[in-house]
Structure 1
Amino acid sequence: MKKSRLFGFLTAGLAAAALFVGGVKTASADTTLTVGASANPHAIILKHVQKQLKKEGVNLKVKVYDDYILPNKALANGDIDANYFQHTPFLDNWNKKNHGTLISAGNVHLEPIAVYSKKYKSLKDLPKGAKIYVSSNTADYGRILKIFKDAGLITLKKGTKLASANFDDIKTNKKHLKFVHTFEAKLMPKLYESNEAAATVINANYAVQAGLNPSKDSIARESDSSDYANLIAIRKDEKNNKAIKKLVKALQSKSTQKWIKKHFKGAVLPAK
């Protein structure tokens, strides 16, 4: 009787140990990764790789933000594990202004910033003194200035660096264009629809959300540049995080990059 009871206890103990070990394995393999992102195209691209990451033991959760302010704050505070909405100049500018130490874990895609107009078909058609609506996102000013410079409408002061340029760096303004840059980036599609200005500059993510395609609907678009590729941002102490590395690998894979190009029909481009 004693032997039978002892055997029962041992069997139960071994079974419990097996469940415990199994639980540890499951918990360690199924890592939850929360990534903050703009709704479109960032969140859509992240959801595209969710199933793939699940197979690799990463439970990817996407938290959507509708501005360019909160995602970096949330990341720095540890509320999320990474974010996906910005390019390198924007990240560098944020770190400088906020004494931040956020870094890039890798580039994913390009969002060509473009100029839209309901009144004119090209930049050269803009009349003298035309009002141009631009967002208050200073990190994009160099990109915008280059569009107008390439169109021959403005020249820049000698020594101007596009990465840190602003509208005070304009040397000559042939048509005396008036750049109004006091609006939040997310408001630009509504301002375009209001038809108040001769032209409106809109970031691709907000343009796509509003049903606009930079390749087809704009009157001018920046040339593709890896300097403005959208990236996965992380805290410096997470650079060796295996789950984040799996995320970046999935996003940079040939299959995902091919899907990005096909799904967004040129409005969003794979990073080079």
Structure 2
Amino acid sequence: MLARRALLIAAASTLLLAACNRQPAQSAADTLTVGATAVPHAEILEVVRPILEKEGVKLQVKVFNDYVQPNLQVDQKQLDVNYFQTKPYFDEFNKERGTHLVTVVGVHIEPLGAYSRKHKALADIPNGATVAIPNEPSNGGRALLLLQKAGLITLTDPTNALATLKDIATNPKNLKFRELEAATLPRVLGELDLALINTNYALDAKLNPTRDALAIEDKESPYVNFLVSREDNKNDPRVQKLAKALTGPEVKAFIEKTYDGAVVPAF
């Protein structure tokens, strides 16, 4: 009888010890789902992942190669937030799609650049050259502004961030323009004389903006990349913890060390 009692006590003690040592499972309420493009956004999110884990938030990152689905999925509550876009693109998306997304915090700037595999300088761009720009209003207008600054074209309104090909006033070299999806531009660069490429796609294609771009936006660029949410979850503690981490010293140091000026902190 005594032996049996001792065994029961030992078993109970083992179960109690296991219960005390067991870590509580992280609930869905502690998980924050973020849509991002691969470079540099998803890389930057990896820097903040352990910071958030210490604060009880598990970061779940879904990587996209387009600029539409991350917004649609936040709006449809398939994602909590996203991190990939500039304010002009964000504003145009909300206007055209009827969404009510909101910006949370500005994180970094990715200077847009003009690239070529055929020519080493803008002066070498020949008459009748084929130039590709992104096919959506925000980045298309941004590309035209850079071409204007580089002296290749002029626009009827030199400050219009949403300029289109119809707004080109002068085109001295008779450049032939193609409007293509932003993500495809690095892949077709060899078929073009010049392509205006967003830095995230340039980096993904192993292009170095500070070395390879024939023209590039300067550090005064207004195209800050934002963390974006819905109106109903902007003040969610998990979102605010992510916003704080994205604008913290660890992220700033990572950006400055990793991207060598191709990505610039906006804080």
TM-score category (smaller protein): 0.7 to 0.9
* Contact 2:36 2:63 (C-alpha < 8 Å) held by counterparts: yes
Is it true that 1:133 corresponds to 2:128 in the alignment?
Answer: no
Moved more, 253-262 or 211-220: 253-262
Which residue identity is paired with 1:130? A
State the partner residue of 1:222.
217
Distance 1:267 1:39 in 2: 15
Distance 2:220 2:237 in 1: 29
Structure 2 unaligned segments of length 5 or more: list them: 1-15
Distance 2:44 2:117 in 1: 30
State the partner residue of 1:148.
147
Q: CA deviation at 1:186?
A: 1.0
CA deviation profile, 1:132-179 (whole Å, cap 9, x unmatched):
01221221122212222112222211x454222112111111111122
Moved more, 232-241 or 255-264: 255-264
CA deviation profile, 1:65-123 (whole Å, cap 9, x unmatched):
11112111110000010001111111111111110100110111111111111221222
Alignment of 1:59-138 (within 5 A): 59-138=58-137
Which residue identity is paired with 2:111? P
Alignment of 1:6-85 (within 5 A): 31-85=30-84
Is it true that 1:247 corresponds to 2:242 in the alignment?
Answer: yes
Identity of aligned residues (%): 42
Which residue identity is paired with 1:78? K
Structure 1 unaligned segments of length 5 or more: list them: 1-14
Q: CA deviation at 1:266?
A: 2.0
TM-score by length of 2: 0.87
Aligned partner (choices 176, 179, 183) of residue 178 of structure 1: 176
Aligned residues: CA RMSD: 2.1
Distance 2:253 2:24 in 1: 38
State the partner residue of 2:167.
169
* Contact 2:111 2:221 (C-alpha < 8 Å) held by counterparts: no
Q: CA deviation at 1:214?
A: 0.9
Distance 1:163 1:118 in 2: 27
Distance 1:231 1:225 in 2: 16
Local SS of the residue matching 2:185: helix
Distance 1:31 1:69 in 2: 26
Alignment: residue pair count: 248
Distance 1:198 1:160 in 2: 24
Which residue identity is paired with 1:144? A
